[in-house]
Amino acid sequence: MYLGIDIGTSGVKAVLADAGQRVLAQGSAPLTVSRPQAGFSEQNPEEWWQATVQAIGQLPAALRSQVRAVGLSGQMHGATLLDARGQVLRPAILWNDGRSAAECVELERREPAARAITGNIVMPGFTAPKLLWVLRHEPEVFRRIATVLLPKDYVRWRLTGEKVSDLSDASGTAWLDVGRRDWSDAMLAATGLDRSHMPRLVEGSTACGTLTGGVAQLLGMPQAVMAGGGGDNAASAAGTGVVRPGQAFLSLGTSGVLFVVTDRFRPNPDRAAHAFCHCLPGRWHQMAVLLSAASAYDWVLAATGGGDPVALAEQAGRRGLRADSPLFLPYLSGERTPYNDPQARGVFFGLTPATARVDLALAVLEGVALAFADGLDVLLEGGGHVDEISMAGGGARLAYWGELLAAALERPLLYRQGSEVSAAIGAARLARLALTGETPESVCSAPPVQQVIEPDPALARLLAGRRATFARLYRDLKPSFVEFAP
């Protein structure tokens, strides 16, 4: 058995896979998010640990006793601060916390080469600016920091006693020299830290310890080998078989991600693309990120009376997109790729007295698809290439959305088995690689395809024409968004 654990924002998932890569059991436990002020987002690291124990405890004892290796996936960027005794100094500041916007500017001022080193714009979601915020606002906490860990790596420390991170997760800290796959002394110095504050770095498929005797007894498992693991998107790629250059997946979760594997470090920071290490050796990846994807559809559903999301999407599909259909800018929480504009807002355009609920839903589905097309262009500008795209995330269940996405991206979309737990499956695969030393391609294969949506040429032509208006609307409205900024 190989155990994969995914430390998400809303919950922890655990899966057990056998040598034939069959998922034999799953467990889960919820997590809560604290928002002590507007724009703040925090969690208590102890909750990650308790939820991990609970999720693993739901797996059959007979299978747990056969686990030979464990892999971890997790939400990225969260700042978990430990003192010299290993005590947590404050609640962890999460990826979706926006308090450190001023510190991002300050960090790039302190280290002008930041974008060249990290391959990314320094954003409030990243870890490093959070530490500058702590230095400025909680100096007594900052002085006591001995170690900074990412969320999954805190759980690893509780499991093994080892302070380790993998390169894909570390890429999102703004402390990593992503091209060299090593900590950057210059970026650490810019936040008043050095390598002594950082965990040891390993590849995601490398063994980096074993479960302690006490933890193994608590969990009813042997002292299994621990793998480096991966950040949630990189682990999902391993679970979806997206491991070779040009392979990609699109995730329609609360936010949206278009992830493509690259053969080398291919940054495009000025267009707000992410360039990170993959969780597998010798590979990198690019990501375009939308801050509102399935959450935009959830919003329009709730704002127009609720009901069945699948039924409304089916109704939108029967309605069909027309040249005079309303347009929607899906920037409800600002936007990342390609604009890096936290002040952007959602906009409906082209409403008439005949506009109905279904037209608003259709506009939201199209708007997210056009935003992904913007993101794809940015990734291609960075020098990569994108072939077929696998689908993941809750929004993937809406068939007409897939038709719009395939046409907007002008590429086939592949719907695969197990996409809802792909990060945990990827973590289990990394565990197997750490134990066996097999090649990544032999283990991280693509799950069976359940459905393929090919781009419809007529719909692609219609979307291409409407996309010009979509882009112009953002440019025209950008100065006005400032007036609505909080």
Q: Which of 5, 64, 71 is nearest to 421 (CA)?
A: 5
Q: Reduced to 3 states, what is the DSSP secondary structure of residue 137?
A: helix
Token pair of 153 as six digits? 């790596």
Q: Reduced to 3 states, what is the DSSP secondary structure of residue 254?
A: coil
DSSP 447: P
Q: Which of 352, 351, 353, 330 is nearest to 341 (CA)?
A: 330
232 is catalytic: yes
Backbone torsion region of residue 217, taken as left when φ is above 0, otherwise alpha when ψ lies between -120 and 50, otherwise beta: alpha
Asked if residue 174 lies in contact with residue 189, where contact means CB atoms within 8 angstroms, the answer is: no
Out of 6, 97, 232, 359, the active site residue is: 232
Token pair of 404 as six digits? 């719009």
Token pair of 37 as six digits? 């002020």
Q: Which of 360, 236, 359, 339 is nearest to 290 (CA)?
A: 339
Rg (CA), the chain: 22
Which residues are CB-contacts of 167 (< 8 A; sequence separation ≥ 6)? 176, 181, 201, 202, 203, 204, 228, 277, 279
Q: Reduced to 3 states, what is the DSSP secondary structure of residue 423?
A: helix
d(CA 63, CA 239): 21
Token pair of 105 as six digits? 């500017």
β-strands 225-227, 200-202 pairing = unpaired
Active-site annotation, residues: 232
